[in-house]
Chain A
Amino acid sequence: MPEATFLDANELILNMGPQHPSTHGVLRVILKLDGEKILGTECVIGYLHRGVEKIGENRTYAMFAPYVDRMDYVAAVSNGLGYCLAVEKLLNVEAPPRAQAVRVILTELNRIASHLLWLGTHALDIGAITPLFYVMREREEILNIFEAYCGARLTTHAFRIGGLQYEVYEGMEKQVKAFCKMFLPRVDEYEELLTENRIWKDRLVGVGVLTAEQCKQYGVTGPMLRAAGVKWDIRKAQPYSGYEKYDFEIPTRTNGDTYDRYIVRIQEMRQSVRMIEQAVDDIPEGPIMAKVGKVIKPPVGEAYVSIEAPKGELGYFIVSDGSTQPYRVRVRPPSFVNLQALDTMARGGLVADIVAIIGTIDIVLGEIDR
């Protein structure tokens, strides 16, 4: 931001964050205001930097797997899947069908959990406090499934390179099915609370518009891109982990405003339930681990794998020099890339809208700062 021309009589600089509850973590946004109008924003990030990529260079492939969970901790399972797929690509192995089906179930459950948390906090920021309690109730059920499956609720470390460590626990299918059955009416309930609510609509419709063209320029992916009308979902475009077997739709909208992004995410939860129901109905029999050695030592080479994480395209680029440790790990985190669009979306809006716009990007600072 040009500092020199900045402070004329009508302009005010305001710091929002890093300890602001609705920046969803430790994000500092410098706002340039003219009264209530936003003339420009600048994000200051890095408060949560832990050097995860560097840690990866000092750990063996198997040891690094738990660390990736700590980037996007709201969707730890998706992170784990992306990393495992990237190393599997380097090793040139594929997880057996049974492992793939279980992976799909867990990642889709995680997508629902992530969207639920987003919905709760986004609504809370805007002033609707009630949905937060309801989404936490449903998220709890998902976390219980994670806990029973892999022994942790948030930083799950559910998958291992080459497949799974844990066999499906007894009664998992039943628990997942019961969740799906319980969950769909609950989504209707959230919609009843919010979708037609006039305060909700007044706060969201037409706020933070990002057109498809702008999305492409910034590299914005995920629900934000789909709300602008681009039918792009990596699960359909470049299927991984057996996603081509499942029947689902890509929900899209056309306006690209905050309200459309809300609708897209709500629809995505329904589609995820659809996928989970298909996957849980036939989990193929067989081994859960492909043949990988005890010591993982991929050949010299590099691999990039991207998956559709709840927040957008999550990519892992790993360079191997033939030793047991990666030479370089690079992560393409969706929130980091999506956050760039904040300035475009907020410019010309009102101060009150910035909270809605930060919420709608669905950022997790652990992933932005890594």
Chain B
Amino acid sequence: MRKLLRTIFLVDLIQGLWVTFRNQHPKNIYTEQYPAQRPRIAERFRGAPRLNINPETGETLCIACDLCALACPENLIVVSSERNKQTRRKELTTFTYDTSRCMFCGLCEDACPVDALELTQDFELASYTREGAIWDRQMLEEGPKPTWYRY
């Protein structure tokens, strides 16, 4: 009898609807208004790469040891260097990083002995051309420039 009444009055369905109703409250809004409101990215996030420079002298921290290129499973980093005749040290000439093939695994970052290569919190990597996804030394040193939208 009780079961019949419950069936007639749709108790099971109303129970579910009540849950939906409870979640209607404006404080339960979880949507992020993305371009207007930037998401909070964790510190360890592995996003767009950057080649760090010494902020005082502007010189690159990279010692052109090629370890990042060797660690990369996708073989997408190309480091070239020249030996300086006077100091007999290797100096970085070009550095290319193909973001279109990168899977942001972080192995290159872990391999770098001087923390020159770093994956940053920026995640906006779109570009209009395929070549635009290949980043050269200058782009890497300047670091990513997040887009700010204004309304």
Q: Evaluate contact between B73 and A151: CB separation under 8 angstroms.
A: no
Is B78 interfacial (CB-CB < 8 Å)?
A: no
Residues of B contacting A64 in the complex (Cβ-Cβ under 8 angstroms):
73
**Residues of A contacting B13 in the complex (Cβ-Cβ under 8 angstroms):** 197-199
Interface residues of B in 43-88 (CB under 8 A from A): 43-46, 71-73
Determine which of A70, A152, A196 lies in contact with B46 in the assembled complex, contact meaning CB atoms within 8 Å.
Answer: A152
Fill in one digit per residue for A319-358: 1 if any B CB lies within 8 Å of its CB, else 0: 0000000000000000000000000000000000000000
B107 touches A62 (CB 8 A): yes
Question: Which listed segment binds A: B89-97, B98-106, B126-134, B140-148?
Answer: B98-106
Q: CA A65 – CA B104 in complex, angstroms?
A: 12
Q: How large is the interface on B (under 10, 10 to 19, 20 to 34, 35 or more residues)?
A: 20 to 34
- How near does chain A come to B47, taking the closest CB pair, in angstroms? 8
Q: Take A140-B30, A192-B16, A198-B12 as given contacts and tell me if A66 and B103 are in contact as well, using a CB distance cutoff of 8 Å.
A: yes
Instruction: Give A155 Cβ to nearest chain B Cβ, in Å.
Output: 7
> Digit string of A77-100 for contact with B (CB within 8 Å is 1, else 0)?
000000000000000000000000
Is B119 at the interface (CB under 8 A from chain A)?
yes
Say if the beta carbon of B15 comes within 8 Å of chain A. Answer: yes
Nearest residue (CB) in B for A170 is B43
The reply to whether the CB of B5 lies closer than 8 angstroms to some CB of chain A is no
For B110, list chain A residues within 8 Å (CB): 165
Structural contact, A193 and B16, CB atoms closer than 8 A: yes
Q: B19's contact among A63, A150, A152, A192, by CB below 8 Å, is which?
A: A192
> Which A266-314 residues have a C-beta within 8 angstroms of B?
none
A243 to B53, CA, bound (A): 45
Chain A residues touching B, majority SS? helix
| Chain B nearest CB, measured from A123 CB (Å) | 11
Tally of A-B residue pairs with Cβ under 8 A?
A: 68
Contact check, B106 vs A157: say whether CB atoms are below 8 A apart: yes
Whether the Cβ atoms of A134 and B23 lie closer than 8 Å is yes
Is A67 an interface position by the 8 A CB rule? yes
- Which residues of chain A from 19 to 77 have any CB-CB distance to chain B below 8 Å in the complex? 59, 62-67, 70
Q: Would A155 and B103 count as touching, CB distance under 8 A?
A: yes
Within 8 Å of chain B (Cβ to Cβ): is A254?
Answer: no
The answer to whether A66 and B105 touch across the interface, beta carbons within 8 angstroms, is yes
Question: A residues engaging B (CB < 8 A)?
Answer: 59, 62-67, 70, 130, 134, 137, 140, 144, 147-152, 155, 157, 165-166, 169, 189, 192-194, 196-199
B: residues with CB less than 8 A from A are 7, 12-13, 15-16, 18-20, 23, 30, 41-46, 71-73, 103-107, 110, 119
6 tightest Cβ-Cβ pairs between the two chains A and B: A66-B105, A63-B73, A151-B44, A148-B42, A151-B46, A147-B42
